[in-house]
C-alpha cells in the first residue's frame, strides 16, 4: 500500500490559489472553510516563498491523539480521516494540529463549533465510497476512483505534489539536483518526522 503524502515545492508555487479553488469546488466545502490555503512567507522581501498547505495526513497524527471521542482513523493509504457522526466539535484537534487544518462551521449554540471539517485527501469519509451521504458530509472520493487529490492534479506549475511519499520525494530530489536549489519539503519534518535533504 502506498503511503500518501503532500509535498509543496515552494520554489515553484506562484500563489495562484487554484488549488484552494479546486478544493472548494470539488468537495463543495462550506462557506467560511478552506481546507487548503496558500501562505506567502516573507511577502515582498527577497527570498519570498509561497506554500500551499492543508492537512498533511501526519504519521502518528496529533488530532487523533487528542480527540476525546476517538473519531479519527487512518486508511490503508495512510490518509487521516474522521467521522462527522462521532465528532462533537470540541476544538482539541485544532489546538493540537501543527498545520491549522481542522476548521468548524459556526452552527451550534453561542456560535460554538459544529462538526469539524478538514482536507480528506479527496478520500471521502467512513460512509460507503462515492455515495451521496459521503459526498454531502466529506466531499469527493477521488482516491476510490483511482485519482489523486484535485489540488495537486491540477497544479499548473506542478508545485503541489500528491501521491506515494517515496515517489514524490524522489521527484522533488531530482528537481533540486537539477536546478541546484530548494527551500525544502515544507511541513515534512513536523508531519512525517523525516526530511528531504536539499
Partner 1 sequence: MTLTTSLRHLLPLLALAALLAGPAAAQQPTSVNPTASSVKEKQLLDALKPGSTDTVSGRISIPDARAGNLIQPAGKEFRTFRQETLPTVGGYAIVGMLLLLSLFYLIRGRIAISTGPSGQTILRFGSMSRFAHWLSAVSFIALGLTGLNLVFGKTLLLPIIGPDAFTGLTQVGKFVHNYVSFAFALGIILMFVMWVKDNVPSLRDLRWFAQGGGLVGLGHPPAERFNGGQKIIFWSTVLGGAALAVSGYLMMFKPIEIAIGGLQLATVIHGLVGLIMVAIIFAHIYIGSVGMEGAFDAMGKGRVDLNWAREHHSLWVDRVAKSRPKDISGGHAPAPGE
Task: Give least dist CB 157 to partner 1, A.
Answer: 15
Q: By C-alpha distance, which of 90, 87, 57 is closest to 74?
A: 57
Closest CA to 75 of 4, 164, 136, 131: 4
Question: What's the helix, strand, coil split of the chain in %, to 5?
Answer: 30, 15, 55
Distance CA 185, CA 191 (A): 11
Between residues 48 and 194, which has the closer beta carbon with respect to partner 1?
Answer: 48
- Of residues 54 and 123, the one with the C-beta less far from partner 1: 54
Site residues for partner 1 per CB under 8 A: 10-11, 15, 17, 20, 32, 34, 37-43, 46-49, 51, 53, 62, 65-71, 85-92, 94-100, 109-112, 180-184, 186-187, 189-190
Q: How far is the CB of 147 from partner 1 (least distance, A)?
A: 25
Identify which of residues 2 and 66 has a Cβ nearer to partner 1 in the complex: 66
Q: Output 107 or 130, the one with its CB closest to partner 1.
A: 107
Cβ atoms 166, 174 nearer than 8 A: no
Q: Angle at CA 194, nearest 5°, toward 59 and 17?
A: 75
Nearest-Å Rg of the Cα atoms of the chain is 17
The helix/strand/coil state of 10 is coil
Q: Kindly state the smallest distance separating residue 38's Cβ from partner 1, in Å.
A: 7
Q: 145 or 195, CB closer to partner 1?
A: 195
Nearest-approach distance from CB 145 to partner 1, in angstroms: 28
State in angstroms the smallest separation of the CB of 146 from partner 1.
30
Amino acid at each position: 500500500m502506498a503511503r500518501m503524502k503532500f509535498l509543496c515545492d515552494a520554489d515553484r508555487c506562484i500563489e495562484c490559489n487554484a488549488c484552494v479553488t479546486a478544493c472548494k469546488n470539488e468537495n463543495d466545502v462550506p462557506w467560511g472553510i478552506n481546507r487548503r490555503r496558500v501562505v506567502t512567507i516573507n511577502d515582498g522581501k527577497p527570498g519570498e516563498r509561497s506554500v500551499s498547505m492543508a492537512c498533511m495526513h501526519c504519521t502518528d497524527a496529533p488530532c487523533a491523539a487528542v480527540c476525546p471521542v476517538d473519531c479519527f482513523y487512518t486508511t490503508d493509504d495512510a490518509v487521516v480521516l474522521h467521522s462527522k457522526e462521532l465528532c462533537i466539535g470540541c476544538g482539541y484537534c485544532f489546538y493540537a494540529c501543527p498545520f491549522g487544518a481542522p476548521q468548524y462551521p459556526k452552527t451550534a449554540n453561542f456560535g460554538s463549533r459544529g462538526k469539524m471539517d478538514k482536507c480528506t485527501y479527496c478520500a471521502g469519509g467512513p460512509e460507503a465510497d462515492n455515495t451521496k451521504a459521503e459526498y454531502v458530509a466529506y466531499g469527493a472520493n477521488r482516491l476510490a476512483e483511482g485519482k489523486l487529490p484535485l489540488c495537486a492534479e491540477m497544479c499548473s506549475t506542478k508545485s503541489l505534489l500528491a501521491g506515494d511519499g517515496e515517489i514524490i520525494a524522489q521527484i522533488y530530489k531530482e528537481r533540486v539536483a537539477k536546478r541546484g536549489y530548494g527551500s525544502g519539503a515544507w511541513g515534512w519534518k513536523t508531519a512525517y518526522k523525516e526530511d528531504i535533504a536539499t
